[in-house]
Amino acid sequence: MIGAIIGDIVGSRFEFGEAPKRDFELFTDECSFTDDTVCTIAIADAVLNRRTYRDALLDWCHRYPNPMGGGYGSMFLQWLNSPDHEPMNSYGNGAAMRVSPIGWLFTEWEDVVAEARKSAEPTHNHPEGIKGAECIAEVIHWLKYMRFTKSEVECKVKKFYGYELPRLRDIMKLGAEGHFDSTCQETVPMALRCFINSNSFEDTIRIAVLCDGDTDTKACIAGAVAEAYYQIPYEIIDRAMVYLPTDMLNILDQFYSDKHII
């Protein structure tokens, strides 16, 4: 979960800013958490404190109505401000970027997939939105609890989810041309490729950001997966924590105290 939040914070200043350079600083005064972190915290809160995913998302997103990066996507914002909060049939990448706590908190793969689906359905009930959430949650489970190798992950993602992971150079070419990936169909396989081609947690985040496009969400998803495989340096965790308010830190404390018990 902290891997997702770190990716979000590091990628935040590049989403609508200048293109990242290869030696960019991970943390600066221009960084902040975005809607990706708000929604990830909401999903963790829902599981840890027995809330519905819908209610937790509404609560946290109303607490932080104007996060960095332009706030929330247009369809999500419409859902957030609607009177009945009915699902929007979205296949945006938001379902996948917020799902990481589920991959950690549930130890049985059937529960991981079922809860990932439930976490997506309040807003992203399109089959592609659900698939993106299920895939990322299950990849985290594969890496953390089943100790899959990267090559096994790539093969099983293709077999069970139909994602053909693009070549890294093709992702970077799209980003350099100004393409903004916003769907699960694009961002999920891109983020997984960034992880698979990396050699450390920090390298994963850097690759994801250098691919440009939706930098915070791509780095959020890639960082979530990388946390299940690599050790995150403590100094990177400490730097990221500075950006988070107390109520988010409280959920993080609860998460890292309670995980593995559900």
**One-letter amino acid for residue 67 of the chain:** P
- Binding residue per annotation — 204? no
29 assigned ligand-binding residue: no
Distance CA 199, CA 208 (A): 13
Which amino acid is it at 172?
Answer: M
Q: Is 36 annotated as a binding residue?
A: yes
Which residues, 6 or more positions from 96, have their beta carbon under 8 angstroms from its beta carbon? 132, 133, 135, 136, 184, 187, 188, 191, 221
Residue with tokens 């997103």: 61
Helices assigned H by DSSP within the chain: 2-12, 35-48, 53-63, 74-81, 94-97, 100-105, 109-120, 127-145, 150-161, 168-176, 184-196, 201-210, 215-227, 234-241, 246-258
Question: In degrees to the nearest 10, what's the CA dihedral of 9, 65, 115, 184?
Answer: -60
Q: What are the CA-CA distances from residue 170 to residues 158, 180, 206 (Å)? A: 18, 14, 16
CA dist 60 → 3, 57, 72 (Å): 20, 5, 12
**In contact, 178 and 54? CB cutoff 8 Å:** no
Please, are residues 2 and 244 in contact by the beta-carbon 8 Å criterion? no
Expressed in angstroms, the distance from the first to the final Cα of the chain is 16
Known binding-site residue numbers for Mg(2+): 34-36, 214, 216-217
Binding residues: 34-36, 214, 216-217
